[in-house]
Structure 1
């Protein structure tokens, strides 16, 4: 579990530092967009009041606290699940990545009322209208890691 908490703390710190740097230091909240390596990497300010791609972003106050509760419930379940079974170290790293990302987005919802999304990537004639952040990447990567690094071990 120690590996999980160290990983979660690192992911959380990276997420919060990048959000502060982009939203506050680069003032993306005012500027709105910054082209870094167009079209591959751009910074586009988006306040996400819902879940992925702005889904369920209706009643801002109600959905905000519901989504915070859901994030805590999922985090609690992941912590319980990886702790109860003997998993490989990569499962704990994966859980830490997911937990760090989830808590990073929870902090945004508490402070800003929405998640600060700013990364926008497009390629090969496809223009991506959506933005995301480090926490979103971590949640996705952590969930994939849990799929690949948990379950029954195959005999050698």
Structure 2
């Protein structure tokens, strides 16, 4: 069975996203605040106080939401539901031949990031987060990882693509 160039591109982006995320997490777990109490909470400034590296184990989802759920609810909402959604999105992009490469890249980045975080939840029981950006006391991020960055980048690209699509539609009308 021959795999099309388009599908190779999709699986390459998914695989690359997972690999970069997992490698970054291995390095952070090993070098930054490893799971030992002596280094827990360690922060490494990368760009002054504006961009910091740390190791935080997140049992929930985005910004720790869902970390206080019962174990069966956490399994349902943070493992089973994401796997189903990621499977449907993958099926969609494999079947819809009208999607351009930017959309394919965006969806594949979202799928790869989602799989990487689900893998962490399954294997470790939590997701390793490590990037923190603080521009001011009010302008700052939560702690995130490469998978989160991939998902966010994919969503931004899809948003931009939808605006461009709307622009083309209004120009044609």
TM-score, normalised relative to structure 2:
0.78
CA distance 1:127–1:29, change in 2 (3 Å): farther
Post-superposition Cα deviations, 1:45-80, rounded to whole Å, max 9, x if no partner, equal 222111111112123532442211122122112112
1:81 aligns with 2:87: no
Spell out structure 1 runs of 4+ moving beyond 6 A. Answer: none
Larger CA Rg, structure 1 vs 2: 2
Shift of 1:82: 2.0
CA distance 1:13–1:111, change in 2 (3 Å): same
Q: Give the root-mean-square deviation of aligned CA atoms.
A: 2.4
SS in 1 for 2:142: coil
Q: Distance in 1 between matches of 2:141 and 2:101?
A: 37
SS in 2 for 1:130: coil
Q: Distance in 2 between matches of 1:49 and 1:141?
A: 23
1:34 aligns with 2:57: no
Unaligned runs of 5+ in 2: 1-6
Unaligned runs of 5+ in 1: none
Q: Taking CA–CA contacts closer than 8 Å with sequence separation of 6 or more, which of the two structures ends up with the larger relative contact order?
A: 1
Mean Cα displacement is larger for which, 22-31 or 96-105?
A: 22-31
